[in-house]
Each structure stands twice: as structure tokens, then as C-alpha cells.
């Protein structure tokens, strides 16, 4: 066996310091070209890489032939880029971070005190509307700073012991920022570090060209301009196809007559709309199918004949050695749950990180109401909060008429949207472990806790250990009357 480190990310500022004569080699295209030849060449892959580096132009021609003419687009996944994306709105970040096969680290409104920076959407052209936009955002920001100061003072007193250390003090400050940010607008400026392979980047560029937001379309143009000089042979289809552009047009025309009214009184908690029947049985059958080599229908029929008490014992034995960080096996992907919920923008900011799930989000709608943190009510800011929300909604109506979807920028982190989400049980375990934890943000925690309760009723055996990390020891003890493996003695 031979294993070589073929490459790794290097900061672009370091690459620029290299001699200009050697910079022609500084492209990830050579990796794509070399790896593309593995399947048809008898040469070792390290020799293929050296050949590609010696003749970059030949490597580029090879990439274009393999990707465009032969349709082997997966070779573009070997080329990876890192982008610093700065000065973009919170609203645009939602579009940027919706792609599954990319990595993002975002400036957090929970940990960083905001300075009031905002992105004024270019679609708002009227001087009067710009003035209105800025005035409302300034109102929102003033309440943010006021709320943060009051909450921080209150929490520092309530958690004086925790706040004695610098680390504890920052933790308590984070709790204050967490709730104060609900009044911040979606125009608030942010930044994100993004790592993405060329194939996914090309997909992003096509999607962003169709965005209703000029800010997002401009971002796509900037990224394309940065990448093309470095790797022209692997970004070949940045323009949306006719299917990308028009596939939903007939459906939208047909459904235009359907009602679109939002029910403000609808509950915000998760409502399960569909799920895999007999999920417990299907998970057991999936294992029998792969372990014993049986056809799935026969395995499922056999499992259904097992007595319920025996099935429970089988799952208890399965979970006996589980720990709070354990990932469920792929058999748990055989059971799906689809739910709908009405969530705030603050909650959605964390929900969107679970990109392996299927997440379909509607528009933010003032008709769906707002999420007011209990802490703001407790310090007497509910009235001011409501007044600013009323002013925000009035401005939204004016902007919507004049600038269409650009009006969304003035809405706040407290405004809500409806989401439809499908997860398999393996993903739900990950989601609930992380989000129904005592350290999780309260808004997303309420959603995760409500979902876990409902899933345990639907699949009581396979979901018997479905809980947040902080409740893991308690849940394990309720089932086994003993501490879990790896638990520290009290």
C-alpha cells in the first residue's frame, strides 16, 4: 500500500507571494485532470499528477473533454475553493447556505455584538423609501442595543458565579445577545467562510442567477469572476438551463388560483404530516435483509411476526451500549418523518444548517406573527418590541408594493415563515441530540423537543433513546436502571 498527500488548502495570500513564473501551476484543475485519468491509465496516480502539473493547458483541455463531451462531471469535485464572503445580508446568507455539499462558518449573532451595519437592497431606488428603510432599521437597532444592555445586566446578576471568570462573562453576554437579536432586521450585515468543490459551485452559480435578489445575483457574478482565471476548465455550465428557469412555471400558473392566506393563529410547534408506517419493523427488516441476504419483502414479513415484547427486547439490546455521541446506523434511514412548523428567522438560522434533510421554506410573512423572547417581556420591553414590529410591518407593505421581494430585508429575526421538512430517523437522532440540549438556543430547542416527543410516539422502539445530549443519562437510566457505558461516576 502507498498513500501520498496529494494536496491541501493554502491561503491565497501565501500563493500570491510565489514567483510569478511558477503561478501557472497554481490551479486545482491538475488534480481533476489527473484523477479523471485513473480509470483508463495504467500509470500510478502520483505520476498522472506530475504529468498534469507539467502541462497545465493539456490538463485543461482534458478536463473540458471529460466534463463537457463525456459528461463525467464528478471530476470537478476534486477541485476545491475557499471564499471569504463579507458584507452580505442575513437574508442573502440564507440563500448562500442552502446547498448541501458545501461547508460554511458564519459570523454568529449569538456571540458577536453587532455594530448596526446593514445592506440596503439595490432594488429600493426611491429616496423616500430608502429613508423609511433606514429609519425603521435604526429603530430596530436602538432596541437591540437597549435590550442587550438590560438583559446583560440582569443575567450577570442572576448568574454572578458563572460571570466571575472572563469565559463565564462572555457566556452570559451571549445569552443576552441571543434574545436581543430578535429585533434585528434581515438586512443586518454578516459574513461567512465557505468551502466548496467546483461542481457544487457551478450548481450554486446557476441557482443564484435565478434569485429574485440582486445581492445574490451579484455575489454569483463576483465568485465566477474570481474562479474563471484560476480554473476555467471545470466551471463550464454557470448559466441556468431552460429546466432550471421554467420547470415550475406551469405549476405556478395552475396553482395561482389556490388560496395563499396565512393563518396567524396556527400553532408554531412541529406537526407531523406523514411518516413511514411500521418504522420500527422496517428498521429491523433492513438489518435482516443486509445481514442475512434476504429479499426485503420477505425480511419484513418475518419481522412482523415477531411478538411486540420480543421486538422491544431486541431494541433494548441494540441500544444497551449506545453513548450520547453515537451515530445511528444506516438502517435508521429506512424510516422517514415529514413535519411542518412555523419558525422564526432566528430559529431558521440554525434549522438551515441541517442540510442533509429536505427543507422547503416559505416566505417570511408578517401575517404569521412574531416570536417574542420571554426575557424581553420580563424586562418590560414587550410594548416597545410590538411598536417597532408594527412600524416594520407598515414599512414592509410600502416596500413590497414598490420593490417586491426586497421588502423582506426589513423584516426581523422574530418574523416567521412556514417550513416543510423531511428527515429520516438517523438524521432526527442527530438533530435532536444537538438541538434539544440544555445548551441549545431556546427557540430551536422547543422545536426539537416537540418533534422528539411526536417521533417517540410513532416509532416507540427505534426512537426510545431519542433525546437531547443533556437528557441522555436520564433517558438511559429510565430504560436500563443503570448508567450508560462510559458514564463518569457521580
Q: For residue 343, list its beta bridge partners.
A: 417
Question: Order of strands across the sheet with 336-344?
Answer: 271-275, 336-344, 416-424, 358-361
Class of domain 262-371+415-490 as given by CATH: alpha beta
Burial of 92 per CB tally in 10 Å (0-12, 13-18, 19+): buried
Mean pLDDT across the stretch 13-29?
A: 70
**Range of lowest pLDDT (53-67, 87-101, 420-434):** 53-67
Q: Who wins on pLDDT, 335 or 48?
A: 335
pLDDT band of 23, cuts 50, 70, 90: low
Calpha distance 223→202 (Å, rounded): 10
pLDDT tens digits for 141-190?
Answer: 999 999 999 999 999 998 888 888 888 888 888 889 999 999 999 999 99
Calpha distance 442→470 (Å, rounded): 14
Would you kindly state where each structural domain of the chain is located, as residue ranges?
A: 12-78, 127-187+372-413, 262-371+415-490
Cβ pair 365, 260 in contact under 8 A: no
Mean pLDDT across the stretch 466-489?
A: 86
Calpha distance 71→29 (Å, rounded): 16
Q: What is the pTM of this model?
A: 0.90
pLDDT number for residue 183: 96
Calpha distance 237→48 (Å, rounded): 26
pLDDT band of 46, cuts 50, 70, 90: confident
pLDDT number for residue 136: 97
pLDDT number for residue 9: 77
Percent of the chain residues topping a pLDDT of 90: 68
Mean pLDDT across the stretch 464-488?
A: 88
Mean pLDDT across the stretch 437-462?
A: 96
pLDDT tens digits for 359-394?
Answer: 999 999 999 999 999 999 999 999 999 999 999 999
pLDDT above 70 for 122: yes
pLDDT number for residue 475: 94
DSSP string of 431-474, one letter each residue: HHHHHSSTTS-HHHHHHHHHHHHHHHHHSTTTTTT---GGGHHH
pLDDT tens digits for 81-105?
Answer: 999 999 999 999 999 999 999 999 9
Calpha distance 148→234 (Å, rounded): 47
Cβ pair 233, 64 in contact under 8 A: yes
What letter would DSSP give residue 18? S
pLDDT number for residue 61: 84
Mean pLDDT over the full length of the chain: 90
Instruction: Give the helix/strand (H/E) hosting 254.
Output: helix 249-255
pLDDT tens digits for 212-270?
Answer: 999 999 999 999 999 998 888 888 889 999 999 999 999 889 988 888 765 655 567 89
Write out 327-384 in H/E/C secondary structure.
Answer: CCCHHHHHCEEEEEEEEEHHHHHHHCCCCCCEEEECCCCHHHCECCCHHHHHCCCHHH
DSSP string of 293-327, one letter each residue: ---HHHHHHHHHTS-HHHHHHHHHHHHTT--TTPP
Amino acid at each position: 500500500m502507498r498513500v501520498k498527500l496529494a494536496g491541501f488548502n493554502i491561503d491565497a495570500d501565501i500563493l500570491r507571494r510565489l514567483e510569478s513564473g511558477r503561478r501557472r501551476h497554481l490551479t486545482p484543475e491538475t488534480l481533476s485532470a489527473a484523477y479523471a485519468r485513473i480509470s483508463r491509465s495504467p500509470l500510478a496516480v502520483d505520476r498522472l499528477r506530475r504529468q498534469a502539473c507539467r502541462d497545465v493547458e493539456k490538463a485543461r483541455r482534458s478536463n473540458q473533454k471529460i466534463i463537457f463531451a463525456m459528461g463525467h462531471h464528478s471530476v470537478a469535485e476534486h477541485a476545491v475553493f475557499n471564499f471569504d464572503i463579507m458584507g452580505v445580508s442575513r437574508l442573502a446568507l440564507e440563500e448562500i447556505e442552502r446547498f448541501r455539499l458545501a461547508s460554511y462558518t458564519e459570523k454568529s449573532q449569538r456571540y458577536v455584538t453587532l455594530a448596526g451595519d446593514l445592506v440596503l437592497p439595490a432594488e429600493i431606488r426611491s429616496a423616500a423609501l430608502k429613508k423609511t428603510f433606514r429609519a425603521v432599521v435604526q429603530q430596530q437597532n436602538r432596541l437591540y442595543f437597549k435590550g442587550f444592555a438590560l438583559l446583560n445586566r440582569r443575567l450577570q446578576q442572576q448568574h454572578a458565579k458563572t460571570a466571575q471568570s472572563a469565559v463565564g462573562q462572555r457566556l452570559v453576554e451571549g445569552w443576552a445577545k441571543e434574545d436581543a437579536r430578535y429585533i434585528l432586521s434581515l438586512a443586518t450585515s454578516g459574513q461567512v467562510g465557505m468551502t466548496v468543490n467546483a461542481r457544487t459551485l457551478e450548481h450554486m452559480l446557476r441557482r443564484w442567477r435565478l434569485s429574485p435578489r440582486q445581492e445574490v445575483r451579484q455575489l454569483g457574478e463576483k465568485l465566477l469572476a474570481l474562479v474563471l482565471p484560476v480554473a476555467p476548465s471545470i466551471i463550464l455550465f454557470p448559466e441556468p438551463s431552460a429546466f432550471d428557469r421554467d420547470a415550475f412555471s406551469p405549476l405556478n400558473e395552475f396553482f395561482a388560483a389556490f388560496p395563499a392566506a396565512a393563518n396567524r393563529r396556527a400553532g408554531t410547534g412541529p406537526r407531523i404530516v406523514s411518516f413511514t408506517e411500521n418504522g420500527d419493523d422496517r428498521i429491523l427488516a433492513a438489518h435482516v435483509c443486509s445481514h442475512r441476504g434476504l429479499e426485503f419483502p420477505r425480511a419484513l414479513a418475518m419481522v412482523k411476526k415477531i411478538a411486540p415484547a420480543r421486538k422491544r427486547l431486541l431494541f433494548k439490546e441494540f441500544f444497551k451500549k449506545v453513548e450520547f455521541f453515537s451515530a445511528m446506523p444506516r438502517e435508521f434511514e429506512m424510516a422517514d418523518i415529514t413535519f411542518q412548523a412555523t419558525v422564526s428567522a432566528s430559529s431558521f438560522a440554525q434549522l438551515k444548517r441541517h442540510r442533509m434533510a429536505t427543507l422547503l421554506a416559505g416566505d417570511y410573512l408578517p401575517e404569521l406573527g412574531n416570536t417574542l423572547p420571554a426575557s424581553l417581556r420580563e424586562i418590560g420591553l414587550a410594548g416597545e418590541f410590538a411598536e417597532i414590529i408594527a412600524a416594520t410591518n407598515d414599512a414592509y407593505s410600502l416596500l413590497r408594493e414598490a420593490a417586491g421581494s426586497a421588502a423582506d430585508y426589513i423584516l426581523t429575526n422574530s418574523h416567521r415563515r412556514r417550513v416543510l421538512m423531511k428527515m429520516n430517523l438517523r438524521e432526527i437522532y442527530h438533530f435532536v441530540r444537538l438541538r434539544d440540549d440544555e445548551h441549545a438556543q431556546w427557540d430551536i430547542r422547543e422545536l426539537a423537543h416537540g418533534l422528539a416527543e411526536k417521533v417517540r410516539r410513532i416509532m416507540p422502539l427505534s426512537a426510545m433513546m431519542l433525546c437531547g445530549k443533556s437528557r441522555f443519562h436520564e433517558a438511559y437510566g429510565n430504560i436500563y436502571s443503570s448508567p450508560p457505558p462510559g458514564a463518569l461516576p457521580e
